[in-house]
Amino acid sequence: MMIEKMKDLVRKNQGVQRSFRFRGTRNQIDEFDGIITAMYPAIFIITLSDSQVRSFSYSDLLVDNLEILE
């Protein structure tokens, strides 16, 4: 299943400093650096460099709203 592939991708990048690109509403693009710190059944948590916390669903990766940049 595709969601399982997204969970595997998140699992591989958990605990590693990465750059992310989020495509929000009205074509706004937000780029930020952070670490995937926690995984839950429906969402995962990214802690940013300035200690802010953001949560995303695995479907955000599936529909390309969120990209994990290498």
Instruction: Identify which of 30, 37, 43, 42 has the alpha carbon closest to the alpha carbon of residue 69.
Output: 30
| pTM of this structure | 0.91
pLDDT at 27: 86
Give the separation between CA 14 and CA 25, rounded to whole angstroms: 26
pLDDT at 1: 72
CB 65 within 8 A of CB 5: no
CA quadruple 8, 13, 19, 24: dihedral sign: positive
Q: Which residues is 26 bridged to in the sheet?
A: none
pLDDT in tens, the chain (70 residues): 799 999 999 999 999 999 999 998 888 999 999 999 999 999 999 999 899 999 999 999 999 999 999 8
